[in-house]
Amino acid sequence: MATIAKRICVSVLRRGLRITATASLAVLILLLLHPLAAAAPTAQADGWWADYFANRSLSGSPVLSRHEDDVDFDWGEGSPGSGVPADDFSARWTREAWFDDGTYRFTVRADDGLRLWVGEELIVDAWRDQQASPTVRDLYIGQGTYTVRVEYYEHGGGAIARVDWQRLLGSAGWLAEYFDNKKLEGAPVLERTDPAINFDWQWGSPGPAVPNDKFSVRWTRILSFPAGAYRFHTTADDGVRFWVDDHLLVDAWYDQSLPNDRWGDLVLDDQPHQVKVEYYEGSGGAQIYVWWERLDSFAGWKGEYYDNLRLDWPPVMTRDDATIDFDWGTAPPVAWMPDDNFSIRWQGEMTFAPGFYRIAVRADDGVRVWMDETRLMIDQWHAMDNELHYVDGTYLSGVHRFKVEYYEQNGHARIQFWVAATPWKAEYYANPDLAGEPKTIRLHEDLDFDWGNGAPLPDFPADDFSVRWTAEQDFQEAWYTFDVTADDGARLYLDGELALDDWQAGEESTSVTRYLHSGQHTVVLEYTERTGVARVKLDWRRAASAGRPAMEERTIPDSTSSRRSHPPRRRLARR
């Protein structure tokens, strides 16, 4: 039987693609039953592919499909194009977009509903009737190509759909829109980024094209807070409204003069929140201030995170950090913050047993550390690559308040702050008599050194030097024997009293026993090196119980102190 073959040219003009196929009749039937080329939208690498539907639900087949450079439309009360009604229509835009690593700010404005996806993540969900006002979302995106999809519907009246994004490089601040009327109507005459809402324009204008009177402003931004209760404040001349998400916390939309403080309370979770402030100026002076406070306390460090290098208020996020120990790599602290050009201020209290401590920080980039509000301990406010900086020999007791400020400029972001107990504060003198001021101060975990014929420190003499070690040590109530080995001389003080005195040349091992009450005791060992070998060691141990001494008895009899002499060591001559 002869095979009847037909050469069939099928031309499909769909989504801007022309497909030509040669097939048998059976293949044609399959194509007619399964129109694959028309089933799924094709994302565009250059611009957007747009499908318009004659309903609000994106259902059925599109009545208009075309390529569009941007999603930036204000149709007024008209139609987007042929076959699309002026009301009750919907649209879907898709494209492929390349993103470098970083945090991006997506800004959408719609009248009416709009949804925005990046990849599989829905980042804007405003599927409701609304007048056009900006919605802002910040998102950290890893490097790569993503499908971006926008869905929109128009119910009635004006029709607006706008979508835009930009990479944040710090100093993002508030998205500010200034209008030349009191009602936030029409297009803004000035758009800019304001680092803070903290203005006193007096009788002047906020900027070009904005009148001195009868203007209005809308500020929006994304902020994050640790879970807790907050009070949001406004002070304004004239009207002001304050939203967190959909919660209207301050509604003072009327003429007023300063002083005033309008506030509202809200319990927040630890997710990002959209904050919006609206303001109008009637006449006379123009002022607006916005701030907030947490109503409950922080368990750890109060961390204030800023999207700028200068700690310019307000923070975009305030949270309770258990420790200051972070390595973010090249990512931001949270997904929606900038990955570079940000700063952080931590504040918290620490409680210390009496003693000497090392205050230390390792950072990339700049860092400053204050103690007790005014005492600047570390000042390294410059770009650096994970450098360690510390201050030794700080005596601490009880509660102290610390403030740590940090900024990240670019590249790797990391910081670690700690305060470590170092029992022995060592003061090194470049003379054998502990005279004058110490040449250097160090902290040591143990008091056990054997320098041989060398110097204890770089750029320090190997002979004719002295050292004083001081520590606050905890003891239980008991008798203790203290053993000192020194070459050359040593003196031991307990709570300011001389307990052992062997201040002479030669290597000696001496011991002394003392009764100590429970608690902190100050232990001081002084050491001198004349010539030759230099070594020193202090140990103590709990002595066999000899009962509690009488009130007037401070030490056991002198006979319990021992001194063991050793044959003199051969001294090595130095050249």
In this structure, CATH architecture of domain 48-167: Sandwich (2.60)
Percent pLDDT > 70 in the chain is 86
What pLDDT does residue 547 have? 62
Residue 563: band (very low, low, confident or very high) from pLDDT cuts 50, 70, 90: very low
Q: What is the pLDDT of residues 209-240, one digit of tens each?
A: 999 999 999 998 878 777 888 999 999 999 99
Instruction: Break the chain into its structural domains and give their ranges.
Output: 1-40, 48-167, 174-294, 301-418, 424-565
What pLDDT does residue 32 have? 41
CA-based angle 117:52:114, to the nearest 5? 35
Lowest mean pLDDT among 66-70, 219-223, 346-350, 539-543: 219-223
Q: What is the CA radius of gyration of the chain?
A: 37
Q: Is the pLDDT of residue 482 over 90?
A: yes
CATH: 2.40.50.140, 1.10.1740.10, 3.40.50.300, 2.60.120.260. Which one for 174-294? Answer: 2.60.120.260
Residue 166: band (very low, low, confident or very high) from pLDDT cuts 50, 70, 90: confident
Q: Given strand 89-99, what is the order of strands in its sheet? A: 64-68, 48-53, 89-99, 144-154, 114-118, 121-126
Cβ within 8 Å of residue 324, ≥6 positions away: 301, 346, 404, 415, 416, 417, 418
The topology under which CATH files domain 424-565 is Jelly Rolls (2.60.120)
Q: What is the CATH number of domain 301-418?
A: 2.60.120.260
Q: Is the pLDDT of residue 406 over 90?
A: yes
**pTM, whole model, 2 decimals?**
0.52
Any bridge partners for residue 441, and if so which? 427
Q: What is the pLDDT of residues 417-465, one digit of tens each?
A: 999 877 788 999 999 999 999 999 888 888 999 999 999 999 999 999 9
- The average confidence (pLDDT) of the chain is 84
Residue 476: band (very low, low, confident or very high) from pLDDT cuts 50, 70, 90: confident
Q: Is 463 exposed, middle or buried (0-12, 13-18, 19+ CB in 10 A)?
A: middle
301-418 and 424-565 share one fold: yes
Q: Is the pLDDT of residue 29 over 80?
A: no
**Of residues 421 and 67, more confidently modeled:** 67
